[in-house]
Structure 1
């Protein structure tokens, strides 16, 4: 499972000078940013999945053809080891895609929960009109503290009830 050129510090090509280096560095930085996103990682692995599936089908067809031609099932087929390796590679890429998709789902859930429990969303632009005022931030923090206190009280009450049942 190879990363795209430049994604792990591997130079993407021959040395460049001047403006070419600046644009190359900028494109590498954009690649690294996109490579960090779980959805984009899954997309990158999708191309590998297609390649692995094509290779797996070719090896399976060749192995099947050899088995039909030889009509000898008692003999070990050397293509079987190659088929097993291709199948393992295919499953490995499937597992990676599954991991990245689950990670992106978790990120989406956390984002939704965060926006649900934060009445005034905080933005990354400091001069934007969408940023919170200090009083709004204090209000948000007080709300979150009261929610945390409610959860604490409920857990303590549940704990006391469990203790009473044991006695």
Structure 2
């Protein structure tokens, strides 16, 4: 949106996109800035859980600082109000509850990412323990010798099917044994 329609827009003016803000007139936002935000969002989606935790540590520190600062200010204002027995302008107190909620939200996000990382690690350890070798989706042979390297994907699927069937058989045997014991009593 060129303020002077008689003058052509320059390069930097052409690189801006007008966005309307909820509080009033449109605000110019550079196109490059929007593209950088999109790239950062895509990179954040690609990060593993530990990297996400590392990225959350800085906002967590800032949130903790704001929480402690607002609580100290609230305590100071309450102390002044109690000692002087009058209102000391407590309506200007920063929102302690808001800062505390933000702090807990960051803590919850970190906890979720750490739990997910632990579960992924446990699943990988179980896979390494119970699966004879790494799985490759490229090779399609139906039979592989024991020490031939990665397992082809169809063999992996058959291995999983056998494990699932064995688990069902064990479950059914335990159920029938429990029913036989309960009927005998």
Q: For the superposition of Structure 1 and Structure 2, which TM-score range results when normalised by the shorter chain?
A: 0.5 to 0.7
Q: Number of aligned residue pairs: give it.
A: 141
Q: Give the TM-score normalised by structure 1.
A: 0.66
Cα drift, residue 139 of structure 1: 5.1
Aligned to 2:64: 53
Change beyond 3 A, Cα 1:73–1:49? farther
Cα drift, residue 153 of structure 1: 1.9
Whichever of the two has the greater Rg, that structure is: 2
Aligned to 1:6: none
Equivalent residue in structure 1 for 2:166, among 128, 145, 150: 150
Equivalent residue in structure 2 for 1:70, among 71, 81, 93: 81
Question: Which structure features the higher share of strand residues?
Answer: 2
Q: Tell me the alpha carbon deviations over residues 71-104 of structure 1, each in whole angstroms, 9 at most, x when there is no partner.
A: 2598795477711111111111111111111111
The one of the two structures with greater contact order (alpha-carbon pairs below 8 A, sep at least 6) is 1
Does the CA contact (< 8 Å) of 1:67 and 1:73 recur in 2?
A: no
Give SS of 2:167's match.
Answer: helix
Question: Which structure features the higher share of helix residues?
Answer: 1
Does the CA contact (< 8 Å) of 1:56 and 1:86 recur in 2?
A: yes
2:114 is the counterpart of 1:98 = no
1:8-157 aligned at under 5 Å gives the runs 14-15=30-31, 28=39, 32-36=42-46, 37-72=48-83, 77-78=90-91, 82-123=95-136, 134=141, 135-136=143-144, 137=152, 140-157=156-173
Distance in 2 of aligned mates of 1:75 and 1:161: 76
Cα drift, residue 133 of structure 1: 6.5
Change beyond 3 A, Cα 1:75–1:108? farther
Distance in 2 of aligned mates of 1:160 and 1:94: 46
